[in-house]
Structure 1
Amino acid sequence: MKLNIVPARTGLTWVRLGITTFIRQPLAMSGLFFMFMALLSIATLVPFVGAALALALLPAATLGLMAATQEATKGKFPMPSILISAFRAGQQRVRAMMVLGALYAVGFLALMGVSALFDGGQFASLYLLGGQISEELVQQGNFQLAMWVALALYLPLSLMFWHAPALVHWHGITPVKSLFFSFMACYKNFGALTVFGLAWIGVFVAAAALVSLVAIVLGNPMFAAVAMFPMVLVIVAMFFTSIYFTFRDSFLATPDDSLPDHGLGTHPDLS
């Protein structure tokens, strides 16, 4: 396995591929995304450990959506069972994925713990346990500081886990090594990932502007409120569809790997 360094403009390609792949299989990809959300929501209902369990399942569930995208690129209809691909890959890789999930849960809870030092845990409690958001709470300086601290700490955590589930599942990399390789791949391709993120923000803003324009033309302000929620869900589902392509093009598969060579650019050896 080798790291594949791609130009920044590849970020736009990833967004385009995510959208077009979703459009080819809209029922399958949207249905799997809703099942993904339902799985994590149900996990949060488990008494005492619900939030931690949902966090631990996130890497495996994300891998399921990536596997579904891979199937869709082959012209196949991804079945619901593909969501549990991470748990059907042999005992060793299942164990590795469980370790990866535990590491993600610990890392996320740790960063929330750090944010709690700044506001007494108000932001962490609201995010993990839910509750009502009040204008007074949001305007508190300590709450805002805790939120920004959590966001700042989440960036390196997300980079470490961005490719890690796929590296564990498709390349058989150990959990700790997968975190290192994922971070390095994101660091080396940070330009492409930045363009990728900005492009998705642009897609969301453009869609929101279109919905607002339609509401104005129809003279019905309620249209925007009603249409915005399903539109956001579809865009998020497209975003998750595009994640597979960021992984596929960030690594150059060797002949004995599961993924085909889709490399772009240069590829330093990570093995």
Structure 2
Amino acid sequence: MQARQLPAQRGFAWLGEGLQLWRRNPALLTFASFGYLLLLILVSVAPFIGQILASLLTPVLSLGVLNTCRAIDAGRKAGPDVLFSGFQQNLPALIIIGAINFAGVWLVLGLTAIADDGTLFRLMTSGGKLDPDIATSGGFTMALLIAITLSTPVMMAYWFAPLLAGWWKVSAPKAMFFSFFACLRNWRPFLAYSIALTLFGAILPGIVLGIVGMVSPTLATLLSVPLPLLLIPIIFASFYTNARDIFGEPDNVPEQA
């Protein structure tokens, strides 16, 4: 389990490779992506424990999506049940990863209260509308900066952790440790990848829909409905392609780091 250090241009390639993977089996990848999102939404609305349970299950179900991508990449036949394959791959470690990530996110939100007296915390946990005056205040801006700065290492520790725990059978702390340093070693391709995601997922669709909307608002509305059906599975597939690029396949690498 050796993390490769890749050049920056590989970050732009991950999204294109995700598109190629989606084209090989768009139906299965779309099912897995939206099935993952739908299940987490349904679980999260459960009273009292919904958010906690959803956080614990997120690594398990995300591994199912990665297993779907892996099956498509290998040319293996797979059915909808592959989404639940994470329950059979080092489940205790996956649950612990979800718990650590949940605790990290809440800790970060709690620390933002130092800057804005808990406004961002309440907004993220309870919902509601944000007062425009508060949104432009210095305290709220500082809280956002704290959240972005502190949540980045949490995200880095989580990014590859479900895959490492599920495919290489390592413990949750070890998976998160290697995930963090794999992201750190590859900050350049990840920066390029984030730029590609912004262009592909937000800016270009916005430009296209804006141009179409100038001609026909109705047509722009109709186009905006199926757009997530295309974008979301491709983005999920790109998560797999960057993991494959950095760590390779379990059958092709040594078991020990």
Normalised by the length of structure 1, the TM-score is: 0.85
Alignment CA distance shift 1:76-1:135 (3 Å):
farther
Q: Name the CA distance, whole Å, in 1 between partners of 2:150 and 2:88.
A: 32
Q: Given residue 200 of structure 1, which amino acid in structure 2 is its aligned partner?
A: L
Q: Name the CA distance, whole Å, in 1 between partners of 2:141 and 2:111.
A: 14
Aligned twin of 2:190 = 193
Q: Name the CA distance, whole Å, in 2 between partners of 1:76 and 1:121.
A: 49
Q: Name the CA distance, whole Å, in 1 between partners of 2:233 and 2:121.
A: 26
Aligned twin of 1:264 = none
Q: Given residue 242 of structure 2, which amino acid in structure 1 is its aligned partner?
A: T
SS of residue matched to 1:3:
coil
Offset at residue 9 of structure 1 (A): 1.2
Q: Name the CA distance, whole Å, in 2 between partners of 1:138 and 1:79.
A: 46
Offset at residue 226 of structure 1 (A): 4.8
Aligned twin of 1:25 = 25
Residues 208 and 228, structure 1, Cα contact 8 Å, conserved in 2: no
Aligned twin of 1:214 = 212
Q: Name the CA distance, whole Å, in 2 between partners of 1:171 and 1:185.
A: 15
Post-superposition CA distance 1:153-177 (Å, at most 9, x none): 1111111111111000001111111
Identity fraction in percent:
26
Alignment CA distance shift 1:230-1:114 (3 Å):
farther
Aligned twin of 1:118 = 115
Q: Name the CA distance, whole Å, in 1 between partners of 2:207 and 2:239.
A: 25
Q: Given residue 231 of structure 1, which amino acid in structure 2 is its aligned partner?
A: L
Q: Name the CA distance, whole Å, in 1 between partners of 2:240 and 2:193.
A: 13
Relative to total residues, which structure has the larger helix share, 1 or 2?
2
Q: Name the CA distance, whole Å, in 1 between partners of 2:78 and 2:132.
A: 43
Task: Report matched runs for 1:1-271 at 5 Å.
Answer: 1-76=1-76, 78-89=78-89, 93-204=90-201, 205-216=203-214, 219-228=215-224, 230-232=226-228, 234-252=230-248, 257-258=250-251, 260=252, 271=257
Residues 3 and 270, structure 1, Cα contact 8 Å, conserved in 2: no
Q: Name the CA distance, whole Å, in 2 between partners of 1:11 and 1:270.
A: 26
Q: Name the CA distance, whole Å, in 1 between partners of 2:176 and 2:10.
A: 23
Offset at residue 142 of structure 1 (A): 2.5
Residues 60 and 91, structure 2, Cα contact 8 Å, conserved in 1: no
Post-superposition CA distance 1:181-221 (Å, at most 9, x none): 111111111111111111111113112212222222xx223
Of residues 164-173 and 125-134 in structure 1, the stretch that sits farther from structure 2 once superposed is 125-134
Normalised by the length of structure 2, the TM-score is: 0.90
Q: Given residue 244 of structure 1, which amino acid in structure 2 is its aligned partner?
A: Y
Q: Name the CA distance, whole Å, in 2 between partners of 1:83 and 1:21.
A: 17
Post-superposition CA distance 1:143-162 (Å, at most 9, x none): 33222221221111111111
Of residues 185-194 and 79-88 in structure 1, the stretch that sits farther from structure 2 once superposed is 79-88
Offset at residue 250 of structure 1 (A): 0.9
How large is the Cα RMSD of the aligned pairs? 2.3
Alignment CA distance shift 1:65-1:190 (3 Å):
same
| Gap regions ≥5 residues in structure 2 | none
Residues 18 and 239, structure 1, Cα contact 8 Å, conserved in 2: yes
Offset at residue 225 of structure 1 (A): 4.4
Residues 51 and 128, structure 1, Cα contact 8 Å, conserved in 2: no
* Paired residues, number: 256
Post-superposition CA distance 1:101-145 (Å, at most 9, x none): 111111111111111232232222222332234534433333332
Q: Name the CA distance, whole Å, in 2 between partners of 1:225 and 1:32.
A: 25
